[in-house]
Amino acid sequence: MKKIAIIGLGYVGLPLAVEFGKNRSVLGFDINAKRVADLQSGYDHTLECTSEQLKDSVHLGYSDSVDDLGQCEIFIITVPTPVDQANRPDMTPLVKASETVGKVLKPGDIVIYESTVYPGATEEVCVPVLEKFSGLKFNRDFYCGYSPERINPGDKINTLTTIKKITSGSTPQVADEVDSLYRSIIKAGTWKASSLKVAEAAKVIENSQRDLNIAFVNELSVIFERIGIDTLEVLEAAGSKWNFLPFRPGMVGGHCIGVDPYYLTHKAEELGYHPEVILAGRRINDDMARYAARGIVKRMLQNGIDVARSKVGVMGITFKENCPDIRNSKVADLVKELQLWGVTVVVSDPWANANEVMQEYGIALGQITNTDQVDSLVVAVGHKEFRVLTPQVLRSNCNELVQPVLGDLKSLYDRHALADAGFTVFRF
């Protein structure tokens, strides 16, 4: 069997390397030497793989040396594809990874991309880089595949092998080989797309669809707040109909839903079409952190709290619950908005890495305790540690001399019980 190299050992690449490494020779490659050393010692800081799972992948090795890639024949690139500050696709990680692979590419090799891109990116951006650095000709000397990742960080039920995988190849024969490769590990089966572009488009619209559905209920939340009714109660009532989709309002962060639509709109605008619906959804979702901060501040002012001299505790900084992933966390935007009002913000998160949070957002993690009380609380992430807290415990962390606001942004608690405990409640 051909030896596989997995380029990028993050939330996507590592589970893939571990699964392939159970039955065939795999090299896990990452430019982060510390990441490689951690994995060699059996530790995954993303918590996607346990030490036992790493140990069970008996044919998996790790390296940060490009020289070691030369022995491989199939290269699977799983690097991130972020956007820049202007929400334009940042293809730098993908281009750099393609340069690395291009330097070791040999006739007959296959390069498979899993990173989310716009339709056509593999052939328009990546293939020219591979050709330039290898001196080889696409679809004559080497071939490409595209099989978009569907990893859901922190999800221990819907894992790599239990989610159907889209596959594609640059020729019919390569498409068959790529599909067979993934079918060897994906228990849920595969879906072979007719082309690289179709597979790329399928991936980018999956998250664009979710983004738009969330934007719809976020806009409903803004409307219902003005009407004076609770959004969750409305959604639960509407959910009694069999075909009502169960989306909830909230801040949309992370590396997929909050990013991928911009790849699709970028390509559309490149082709002379201005997408209105997709960008409208993005504008709504990107504004929800500011909307939440202002809703909380408004209620603090109504309760007579001196906002500019107040302290607010924010519980959770990761982009989703029970996961250490802080990429594109909209909680950071919430914190910055509160700080613009002069608020001293204390952020606590049992899952996040304090050094990563400081490096990425300049936010120091602390502790919210009943000995150093805050004037209001925001529960921003639905970690299991937060879900078990009672309204009384939450209230004990707040200043006894004020009527605090509880920003229950994930609707974890009964709002009536929160009110009985002395909170003024804000939630989407």
* Residue 372 pLDDT > 90: no
**H or E element, residue 337:** helix 330-340
Cβ(320)–Cβ(153) below 8 Å? yes
Q: What is the pLDDT confidence band of residue 370, given thresholds at 50, 70 and 90?
A: confident
In this prediction, residue 383 carries a pLDDT of 96
Cβ(76)–Cβ(4) below 8 Å? yes
Segment 353-375 shows an average pLDDT of: 92
* Residue 253 pLDDT > 90: no
pLDDT digits (tens, 9 = 90+) for 292-349: 999 999 999 999 999 999 999 999 999 999 999 999 999 999 999 999 999 999 999 9
pLDDT digits (tens, 9 = 90+) for 2-17: 999 999 999 999 999 9
Cβ(323)–Cβ(423) below 8 Å? no
Q: Which two tokens stand for residue 35?
A: 């990441």
Query: What is the Cα–Cα distance from 11 to 30, expressed in whole angstroms?
Result: 12
Query: What is the Cα–Cα distance from 344 to 310, expressed in whole angstroms?
Result: 6
Instruction: Say what percent of the chain tops pLDDT 90.
Output: 93
- Residue 147, C-beta contacts closer than 8 angstroms, at least 6 positions apart: 112, 113, 114, 165, 166, 167, 168, 178, 182, 199
Exposed, middle or buried by CB within 10 Å (0-12, 13-18, 19+), for 202? middle
Q: Smallest Cα–Cα separation from 5: which of 103, 152, 135? A: 103
Q: What is the pLDDT confidence band of residue 85, given thresholds at 50, 70 and 90?
A: confident
Which residues in 280-314 are b (16+ Cβ under 10 Å) and which e? ebbebbbebbbbbbebbbebbeebebebeebbbbb
Q: What is the pLDDT confidence band of residue 21, given thresholds at 50, 70 and 90?
A: very high
pLDDT digits (tens, 9 = 90+) for 51-71: 999 999 999 999 999 999 999
pLDDT digits (tens, 9 = 90+) for 86-100: 899 999 999 999 999
Q: Which two tokens stand for residue 251?
A: 């801040």
Q: Which two tokens stand for residue 8?
A: 């990028």
* Residue 393 pLDDT > 90: yes
DSSP state letter for 189: -
In this prediction, residue 36 carries a pLDDT of 96
pTM metric for this prediction: 0.91
Segment 123-129 shows an average pLDDT of: 98
Tell me the three-class secondary structure of 129-165, residue by residue.
HHHHHHCCCECCCEEEEECCCCCCCCCCCCCHHHCCE
Q: Is-catalytic flag, 144? A: no
Kindly name the residue from 49, 144, 256, 323 that is annotated as catalytic: 256
In this prediction, residue 152 carries a pLDDT of 82
Cα 345 → chain centroid: 24
Q: Smallest Cα–Cα separation from 216: which of 198, 201, 231, 196? A: 231
DSSP state letter for 348: E
Cβ(363)–Cβ(349) below 8 Å? no
Segment 279-304 shows an average pLDDT of: 96
Which residues on adjacent β-strands are paired with residue 75? 5, 111
Full DSSP string of 11-35:
TTHHHHHHHHTTTS-EEEE-S-HHH
Cβ(45)–Cβ(22) below 8 Å? no
In this prediction, residue 155 carries a pLDDT of 80
